[in-house]
């Protein structure tokens, strides 16, 4: 499983971030703490590298975050929805989190 998939699954499970109307808000410090077992600099660069370029609004495979302010990011709702769909089709991950069923993400 990629770090992106682990990241989105943590958001779906309600273990990371705060759900909102337009995706989930995640701060970099919480992200680093959640993934503290990954001992590379990849954790430090993951979120900044996944930011959607200025003027763009659609999520892509590698760009699915909006920078809200320094150290705070919003996860594009389409990225969450896409990962939820993948989880439903996966034989081991059977149910989406009720958190995101309620909020419509």
pLDDT of 102 reads 44
H-assigned helices in 24-97? 28-34, 42-49, 77-89
Grouped pLDDT means (10 residues each) for the chain, 105 residues: 94 94 94 89 90 91 95 96 86 50 47
- CA dist 77 to 38, 64, 81, Å? 25, 9, 6
pLDDT of 88 reads 83
pLDDT of 87 reads 86
pLDDT of 90 reads 62
pLDDT of 28 reads 94
Please tell me the pTM assigned to this model. 0.80
């Amino acid at each position: 499983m990629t770090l992106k998939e682990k990241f989105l699954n943590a958001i779906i499970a309600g273990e990371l971030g705060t759900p909102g109307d337009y995706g989930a808000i995640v701060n970099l410090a919480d992200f680093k703490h959640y993934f503290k077992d990954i001992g590379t600099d990849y954790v430090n660069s993951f979120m900044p590298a996944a930011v959607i370029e200025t003027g763009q609004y659609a999520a892509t495979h590698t760009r699915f975050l909006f920078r809200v302010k320094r150290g705070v990011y919003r996860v594009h709702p389409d990225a969450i929805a896409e990962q939820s769909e993948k989880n439903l089709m996966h034989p081991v991950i059977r149910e989406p989190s009720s958190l995101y069923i309620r909020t419509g993400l």
